[in-house]
Structure 1
Amino acid sequence: MRVYPEQLGRHLSPLAQCYSLMGDEPWLIENARSQLLEAARQQGFMERVSFEQDSGFAWADLRNEWQAMSLFASRRIIELTLPQGKPGADGSAMLTELMAQPNPDLLLIVRGPKLASEQTNSKWFKALDNAGIYLPCNTPEGAQFSRWLDGRISAHRLLLEPDAKAMLASLYEGNLLAAEQALALLSLLTAGRRVGGAELAQYFEDQSRFNVFQLADALLANQQERIAHMLAQLKAEGTALPIVLWAVFRELSSLLSLKSAQERRESMAPLWSKLRIWDKRKPLYENALRRLTLAQIEAMLALSSTIELKLKQAGEEDWTLLTHLCLLFDPRAHQQLVQLES
């Protein structure tokens, strides 16, 4: 059963047979794990053994532990880490076998990275899911991050003005650990006082973190303020310009293929699959296709080539020109920046 991390507290008594903590956000995974271990301790699970699927791991060891009697007649926790999120054929068979042997005195906690759809549709994952709880522990973005932040503000019993909340969201999006540390510090500093943005600004620096995939989504959605913030953070964190340019060029190339087919009145269906654009991201591309003309997309690709030439021929990382390129995802900018020089 899929349960989101903020809902975990409602699914701890009694504990399920298995909890799968899978995702790309370490803070969410560790927070969920801490809740599970505390609930398990209260319910009599006193022994704990850990396995990690590495070169020295044997699946038979997991079976032996599952079938062994406790030395101290207490309930036991087995933690299993799957670094790649793929147990392989032997592991898949073993997990399926063990989930068919329910044991109320054992708690299995499985940890691993964010899972793709083929993994969540696999036999081993469905066996774990049917026997317990699946927690997708992925970094929240946008509105999801705001909801997570509201929950943590309430948990720390902080009284923040709307401008202070907005500032925290801007400073810490994508960096849950830093956000949690900031909230813990605020709870000590403010002692129940209501805090506004002006006071908050005295305490914290910008700790948000972004990656080029988040930037790509923001470009397609034409979120200009967010784009400028992301670019500044990526540059400040030392992200190489070629990586950012690659992400922008990839989206422009996809848009060119889609817009060209649209202009020719061809079916878009084969292209979605060919370009590996899944249903979740289709609205972003449809938004951009309505907004941008074919000529504008071609002009943006030409500008991206100029940036690449400056990089390859002169070794120059032109972040200013890259910023101009990103601004051009807004069609209004084409009228103002048409005279860009290389």
Structure 2
Amino acid sequence: MRVYPEQLGRHLTPLAQCYCLFGDDAWLIENARSQLLEAARQQGFEERISLEQDSGFNWNDLQNEWQALSLFASRRIIELTLPQAKPGADGSAMLTGLMAQPNPDLLLILRGPKLAAEQTNSKWFKTLDNAGVYVPCNTPEGQQYFRWLDGRITANRLMLDSDARQLLATLYEGNLLAAEQAVQLLALLAANRRVSAEELSQYFDDQSRFNVFQLSDALLGNQQQRVAHILAQLKAEGTALPIVLWAVFRELASLLQLKTAMVQRESLAPLWSKLRIWDKRKPLYEAALSRLSLPQIEAMLALSSTLELKLKQGGEEDWTLLTHLCLLFDASAHSALVDTRG
């Protein structure tokens, strides 16, 4: 059964046989784990065993712990970390077999990275999912992130002006641990009084984190302020410009194929599949295609080639020119285009 982190508290009494905490956000995983351990303590689980699937791990160790009698408590917790979320053939068979031996005095907690579709479709995962609870602990984005932040603000009884809330969200997007620490600090500094953006800005620095895929979505969606913010953070974090340029070029190359087909009145249906653009992202591409002309896309590709030449021939990482290129995802910016291809 899939339960999102904010819903976990409603699924802890009684505890299920196992809980799977997989995702890319360390704070969400640790927070879910803390809730589980506290609920387990209240329900008489006093002994905890920790195992990790490292290079020398023996799956029989898990079976032995599952079948062993506790020397200290009647109820036990087994925590198993899967660093790659890939138990292999032996592990898959072991986990599947153990779930066929339900034991109300044992609680199994699995932890690991974000799962791919092939893993959630595997037999071992489906068996665990049926026997217990799967908590996807992935860093929330967009409105999900704002809902999470609002929840933390409410839980800590903070009173923030709307502009202060927006600033806090901007400063810590993609970094839940830092956001949680900031909220807790604000709860101490500003208990029982309203906080403005001006006051909040005196306390904190920008600690948001982004990746090039988030940049791609912002470019296609013509979110220029967000694009500028993401670029600044990627540069500050030391992200190599070739990685960012690769992401931008990939989107331009896709737009070129799609726009060419549109101009020639061809169906886009085969291209969506060929370019691996799934339904969820189609509206972003459709928006970009509706505002950008074919000559504009071609001009942007020419500019990306200039950036690539600077990198390959002179080793120059021209973030200013890259920013210029990103601005051109707004069609209105093309009227001020300066020819930099020479």
Give the TM-score taking structure 2 as reference length.
0.96
Structure 1 residues 262 and 203: alpha-carbon distance in aligned structure 2, compared to 1, 3 A threshold? same
Indicate if the aligned counterparts of 2:158 and 2:192 stay in contact, CA closer than 8 A: yes
Note closer, same or farther for the CA distance 1:87–1:270 as it changes in structure 2 (3 Å cut): farther
Aligned residues: 342
Other structure's SS at 1:50 match = strand
Equivalent residue runs for 1:109-258 within 5 Å: 109-258=109-258
| Structure 2 contact 252–297 (Cα < 8 Å) conserved | yes
Tell me what 2:74 maps to: 74
- Greater mean deviation of Cα atoms: 264-273 or 218-227: 264-273
Alpha-carbon offset, residue 78 of structure 1: 0.9
Unaligned runs of 5+ residues in structure 2 are none
Kindly state the Cα deviation for residue 262 of structure 1 after the two structures are TM-superposed: 3.0
SS of 1:309's equivalent in the other structure is helix
Give the conservation status (yes or no) of the 8 Å contact 2:302–2:341: no
Match of 1:305 in 2: 305
Q: CA RMSD in A?
A: 1.4
2:260 corresponds to which residue? Answer: 260
Shift of 1:282: 2.3
1:234 is paired with a residue whose SS is helix
**Conserved 8 A contact 2:300-2:328:** yes
Question: Tell me, what secondary structure is at the counterpart of 2:16?
Answer: coil
State the secondary structure of the residue aligned to 2:38: helix
Whole-angstrom distance in 2 between the partners of 1:60 and 1:51: 11
3-state SS of paired residue (2:203): coil
2:52 aligned partner: 52
Q: Distance in 2 between matches of 1:322 and 1:127?
A: 48
State whether structure 2 residue 279 is matched by structure 1 residue 279.
Answer: yes
Shift of 1:272: 2.6
User: Is contact 2:215–2:227 with CA below 8 Å preserved after alignment?
Assistant: yes
Please give the alpha-carbon distance, in whole angstroms, between the structure 2 residues aligned to 1:270 and 1:68.
57
Tell me whether 266-275 or 50-59 shows the greater mean CA deviation.
266-275
CA distance in 2: counterparts of 1:101 and 1:260, whole angstroms = 59
CA shift for structure 1 position 21: 0.7
TM-score by length of 1: 0.96
SS state at 1:174 partner: coil
Structure 2 CA distance for aligned equivalents of residues 253 and 311 of structure 1 = 19
Measure the CA separation in 2 of the matches of 1:68 and 1:125: 24
Distance of 2:266 and 2:49 partners within structure 1 = 58
Deviations 1:244-296 (A, max 9, x none): 11111111112222222333333433333332223322222222222222222
Which residue in 1 is equivalent to 2:6? 6
Describe the shift of the 1:56–1:158 C-alpha distance in structure 2 as closer, same or farther (beyond 3 A): same
CA distance in 1, matches of 2:148, 2:20: 20
Partner in structure 2 of residue 332 of structure 1: 332
